[in-house]
Chains A and B, each alone.
Chain A
Amino acid sequence: ELKVEQNPLFLSMQEGKNYTIYCNYSTTSDRLYWYRQDPGKSLESLFVLLSNGAVKQEGRLMASLDTKARLSTLHITAAVHDLSATYFCAVVDRHTDAGNMLTFGGGTRLMVKP
């Protein structure tokens, strides 16, 4: 059974600082997604990572994927308050059928303080 773990679960950081969120998963996968969720809202797709060594960047966020280590990172550069949200990684289990069902991590709640 595919398990996805994120850490930290909660992150409070000052504006302007850098930090990294980690996502580990337990079985082979070559598709990993990062989503953002604001309180009371739905999930917004941030990044799609499809191969080993993939790196995607958008603004102050950069995501990478290491399929051999079964690890993805979401790096935040010079955080601003608008980045405060909960971030989820989600993985497709390569060994199940072709339905592309997502298994989510528990989420990292990010709070950026002025």
Chain B
Amino acid sequence: DTGVSQDPRHKITKRGQNVTFRCDPISEHNRLYWYRQTLGQGPEFLTYFQNEAQLEKSRLLSDRFSAERPKGSFSTLEIQRTEQGDSAMYLCASTDGTNSNQPQHFGDGTRLSIL
């Protein structure tokens, strides 16, 4: 069990640029979640996948955000035309959907800073 891994760990970019983050879940986990955490706050749900299907999206996920999980394994989260307010830690989590009581396992996150 290598845990949930996210790449990159840090991303600094200028406002208006596009960014893409990657998440590799625990291999046997079929559910994958994206959350956003701003300083001093708890994580907020963005979206989740069961296998390759994106089943739920938060109202926080504006049309500048898009997430994919093409083969039901790794996932990408893309933000287009970044804004200052997008600066946050983006966390990925995974769990085994066949056991809904299991906790979600979180990666170390990607910290995004918009200049």
Contact = CB atoms under 8 A, between A and B. Distances in A.
Interface of A: 4, 31, 33, 35, 41-45, 48, 50, 88, 90, 97-107
B56 A101 contact: yes
Contacts of B48: 99, 101
Nearest to A104: B42
B44 A41 contact: no
Contact of B91 (A42, A44, A48): A42
B104 A42 contact: no
A44 B44 CA distance: 16
A107 B45 contact: no
16 contacts: A4-B42, A31-B100, A35-B106, A42-B109, A43-B106, A45-B103, A48-B103, A97-B55, A99-B31, A99-B55, A99-B56, A101-B56, A102-B35, A106-B42, A107-B40, A107-B42
Given A31-B101, A99-B55, A101-B33, A42 B106 contact: yes
